[in-house]
Amino acid sequence: MRTILFTGKGGVGKTTLAAATALRSASLGHRTLVISTDIAHSLADALATPLGNEPRPVNGSLEAAELDTGEELERYWGDVKRRIATLLRQEGVEATAAGELAILPGLDEVLALVRIKRYHDEGRYDTLIIDSAPTGAAMRLLSAPDLSRWYAGRMLGLSRGLARMVLPSIRSLVKAPIGEDAIRERITALFDQVEALRSILSDHAATSVRLVMNPDHLSLQETQRAYTYMNLFGLSVDALFVNRILPEYVLDPFFESWKASQAEHRQQAQDLFAPLPVFEVPLMRREVVGVEALEALATAIYGESDPVPPLADEQPLRFYVEGERYMLALRVTGVPGGTVELERQGDELRVRLGRFRRTLALPQYLAGMDPAWAQVEGEYLRVAFEQA
């Protein structure tokens, strides 16, 4: 099964593009499921079709769902949450805080991942298209398994230390008796599924990420950071969609400065993300709602081509470890070698190589390090980082 994840800054139109791509996939005969993992769902509105937590037919071979993270949370974690909250209250934690602390950070995102893993295992679909949470939440989703495993280990340590004292008194508080081994098994099973899914998400043949942005400064900056983190977690970005571009036939003087600004940011997007394909999507005359409008949009974007296979293989940015150094590789095709100037400011790295200029968003684990050296090797500029 092919998985395609659309993500971007809130409000850039990723739901519309995910829905349009799903309809195009289904029209080509792929058994397709499109799901929303965004807490602020709008997939049902885009498709003009009522949706729920389980897949429902939409059109032809297309099904859709809006995941209810609250329902998933209760199903997977309800009794464990009550057990941990009781242990925390026994330690003197106020009841409301104990209830919040009993839910692992990022657990709702983890449970969305578990649902995706279920669809892979069932084998009912050829294509799974995910309308992801806005970029910041999507980044936490991708890092949540490691964070939650760390947190869960400490909760297990707490519960082991107090189990003999409090277990008899809390059995009546949970839906069914649950002991230490049951909690451990529940947590282990949950994260085993997440780890298995991460291997699917990092398989470039099976999974692609498609970034959506508007042609403006804030959206471009957010998209750069999203791309950095996608690379950091081993996901393959295979396309960029620049949405809501003012058409050339809009000649009203009021929009002249907007069109000039959009042209500048469109060019920056082309430069920053080459050689990834960049799909430029014009601003439509009216809101794109309903199957017919979405199918027309899909035709305008993809023509007769199939959007399901990977759209690109090469990545313009890579992070990796070499020996004891953290490394960054940046594609600089066509730039002659020479002196490289590097300047780190906070979580940004400014690179200058001849006429080549880039400002890169760094992941947090590199933001506290200094660039030690840089050199051009083939089509890539390699930068080594060391502790400051």
pLDDT at site 337: 65
User: Are 133 and 270 part of one and the same domain?
Assistant: yes
Per-residue pLDDT, 13: 95
Residue 263 and residue 347 share a domain: no
State yes or no: pLDDT of 126 exceeds 80: yes
Same structural domain, 222 and 344: no
In this predicted model, which residue has the larger pLDDT, 330 or 20? 20
- 43 close to 83: Cβ distance less than 8 angstroms: no
Last residue of a domain, which of 268, 286, 313? 313
Comparing 23-32, 154-163, 280-289, which segment has the lowest mean pLDDT? 154-163
Give the end of a domain, one of 279, 313, 347: 313
Least confidently predicted of 147-156, 198-207, 298-307, 346-355: 147-156
Answer with the one of 262, 286, 313 that is the final residue of a domain: 313
pLDDT, position 186: 67
Distances (CA, A) of 349 to 16, 87, 361, 362, 388: 33, 45, 7, 7, 14
Interval 70-83 mean pLDDT:
74
Band of the pLDDT at 169, cuts 50, 70, 90? very low
Do 370 and 298 fall within a single domain?
no
Confidence of residue 139 (pLDDT cuts 50, 70, 90): low
Asked if residue 325 and residue 185 are part of one domain, the reply reads: no
Q: Do 338 and 232 belong together in one domain? A: no
CATH classification at residue 381 = 2.60.40.790
279 and 355 co-located in one domain = no
* Nearest-angstrom CA–CA distance, 87 and 79: 13
The range of the structural domain enclosing residue 345 comes to 317-387
pLDDT digits (tens, 9 = 90+) for 35-71: 998 777 899 999 999 999 999 999 999 999 998 877 7
Same domain as 380, residue 253: no
Counted domains in the chain: 2
Q: How far apart are CA 383 and CA 388, in angstroms?
A: 15
Predicted pLDDT of residue 182: 65
| Pairwise CA distance, residues 211 & 214, whole Å | 10
Together in a domain, 299 and 332:
no
Q: Which two tokens stand for residue 103?
A: 């839910």
Alpha-carbon span 70 to 190, nearest angstrom: 16
Number of helices (H), then strands (E), belonging to the chain: the values are: 11, 15
Return the pLDDT at 353. Answer: 85
* pTM, full prediction: 0.81
Q: Are 249 and 282 in contact (CB under 8 A)?
A: no
Percentage, residues of the chain above pLDDT 90: 41
Which CATH number fits the domain that encloses residue 48? 3.40.50.300
Considering the chain, what is the average pLDDT of its residues? Answer: 82
Averaged pLDDT, 335-355 = 81
Token match 């947590």: residue? 187
73 versus 132: the higher-pLDDT residue is 132
DSSP states of 131-188: EPPPHHHHHHHHHHHHHHHHHHHHHHHHHHHHHHHHHHHHGGGSSS---HHHHHHHHH
Same domain, 337 and 292: no
Is the pLDDT score of 178 beyond 70?
no
Distance CA(221)–CA(240), nearest Å, equals 14
Residues 241 and 285 in one domain: yes
Range among 114-118, 160-164, 250-254 rated most confident: 250-254
Percent of the chain surpassing pLDDT 70: 82
For residues 378 and 293, state if they share a domain.
Answer: no
